[in-house]
Amino acid sequence: MISLDSTSNISIRLGEMEMFIAAPNDEKFKNLMATISPDAKYDNILQEWRISAEKLSFEELNEKLSYGIKQIEKSSMPSSKIGAIGQEHGYAEIKVGEGGEVQIDSLRERGIPDERLYFDRLEGRFPERPYLDRCLDALQPGDILYVHCLDRVARSLKQLANTVAKIESKNAYLRSLTEPFDSSADQYKYFSKHISFAAEFEMRANSERTKAGLRERAAKGKKVGGRPKSLTKEKIETIARLSLAEKSIEEIAEAVGVSPSTIYRTISNPTILFGRAHADNGQEGVKQAIRNILSSMNLGITTDVREEILSMHRSGKAIAWISEKLDLNLKTVRNVIHDDD
């Protein structure tokens, strides 16, 4: 028995092939039942709603009905807008090199129709997620967004907090299929605020640990800050010269006395980078590329990240937006843009 209000009770009984719900046949419940099951019909003689048990289990019906009734009780919306209550959407994020069938199949098994399934194929280190944006835009009050797991909608605590906040701003909810997370539950009422605080705390704590380490090194008379000794300006100039001579990365690494991975961590593809710089502006272009690499190293980022920041800035994106999207602090983003001016 599910209580709707102080004067009405809703009950569910099982038949051989159908489930029967004793509920009103008013506008609110017409919209709610249509959301729960497209084949829901009201039997005027039995005065019950009839739903096929073939595609919907008793547990799923009970969950959807309980949730919908709770929303009707809490909602102050006119009955014409109740139709979106309980509508389910699904989002999957598929990274390069992996299949998405597990995520998509699990969302379909949940009963989410293909027209409300969204997925992004990610490419690059900081990929765009256009279909996640579309999915969030499509959410209506009372809707639920399902994901296979939370790391499919965020790369960090900060992004997770922001995503949940956006969903909450639409009066919708987020649920994970593989984790005990449901933002409609009372214990997650202030989740986005708590996670945002945790993300800020983590960032401040990391900053303080870094500062403490630098103070300790300074107290011991050791060098503080600066670029790693493995790649100096002279070595980067050698990398540029050998790259233009079309030497392999192994030959370049051996010549400058570092491992190929050390080069890749700073310059993802030196042959392309320096080749393009030389083609654009000759030796002056190569010199500028070297200055950009040194600047990126001082900021603790790679050349790829630097180019991503500048690309976003040139397309008109705000510094705060870039900082959030790339999960970088504002100071780093400002310094990159300032160095490029």
Higher pLDDT, 1 or 331: 331
Residue 205, domain member (yes or no): no
Q: DSSP letter for 182, please.
A: B
Residue 191: pLDDT band (50, 70, 90) is: confident
Cα–Cα distance measured from residue 198 to residue 262, given in angstroms and rounded to the nearest whole number? 32
Q: Are residues 38 and 95 in the same domain?
A: no
Per DSSP bridges, beta strands 117-122 and 144-147 are unpaired
Cα–Cα distance measured from residue 242 to residue 15, given in angstroms and rounded to the nearest whole number? 78
Domain end: 26, 49, 75, which one?
75
Residue 322, domain member (yes or no): yes
Q: Are residues 99 and 14 in the same domain?
A: no
Q: 51 pairs with which residues across the strands? A: 19
Cα–Cα distance measured from residue 297 to residue 7, given in angstroms and rounded to the nearest whole number? 69
Candidate from 13-22, 96-105, 278-287 with smallest mean pLDDT: 96-105
Candidate from 17-31, 148-162, 206-220, 282-296 with smallest mean pLDDT: 206-220
Residue 194: pLDDT band (50, 70, 90) is: confident
Q: Are residues 107 and 48 in the same domain?
A: no
Residue 13, domain member (yes or no): yes
Q: Are residues 50 and 133 in the same domain?
A: no
Q: Are residues 269 and 334 in the same domain?
A: yes
Residue 212, domain member (yes or no): no
The backbone torsions φ and ψ at residue 18, rounded to the nearest 5 degrees and listed phi first, read -135, 165
Q: Are residues 244 and 174 in the same domain?
A: no
For residue 9, the model assigns a pLDDT of 66
* pLDDT tens digits along 221-233: 655 555 445 788 8
Residue 162: pLDDT band (50, 70, 90) is: confident
Residue 83, domain member (yes or no): no
Q: Which of 47-51, 133-137, 176-180 is the most confident on average? A: 133-137
Q: Is the pLDDT of residue 7 over 80?
A: no
- From edge to edge, which strands make up the β-sheet containing 48-52? 2-3, 9-14, 18-22, 48-52, 41-43
In three-state secondary structure terms, 14 is strand
* pLDDT tens digits along 57-108: 888 888 888 877 776 665 544 433 333 456 899 999 887 666 778 888 889 9
Q: Are residues 40 and 118 in the same domain?
A: no
Q: DSSP letter for 115, please.
A: G
Q: Are residues 101 and 183 in the same domain?
A: yes
Domain end: 75, 102, 127, which one?
75
Q: In which domain, by residue range, is 107 found? A: 88-196
Percent of the chain with pLDDT over 90: 7
CB crowding 75-100: b at 16 or more within 10 Å, else e: bebeeeebbbbbbbbbbbbbeeeeeb
Among residues 57, 132, 59, which one has the least CA distance to residue 89?
A: 132
For residue 1, the model assigns a pLDDT of 41
Q: Are residues 262 and 191 in the same domain?
A: no
Question: What's the mean per-residue pLDDT of the chain?
Answer: 78
For residue 340, the model assigns a pLDDT of 65
Mean pLDDT, residues 258-284: 84
Residue 227, domain member (yes or no): no
Mean pLDDT, residues 174-191: 81
* Domains of the chain: total: 3
Q: Is the pLDDT of residue 24 over 80?
A: yes
Residue 210, domain member (yes or no): no
For residue 227, the model assigns a pLDDT of 47
pTM value > 0.75: no
Q: Are residues 178 and 254 in the same domain?
A: no
* pLDDT tens digits along 124-155: 555 678 899 999 999 988 899 999 988 888 87
Residue 213, domain member (yes or no): no
CATH of the domain at 137: 3.40.50.1390
Q: Are residues 336 and 237 in the same domain?
A: yes
Q: Is the pLDDT of residue 334 over 90?
A: no
Q: Are residues 109 and 192 in the same domain?
A: yes
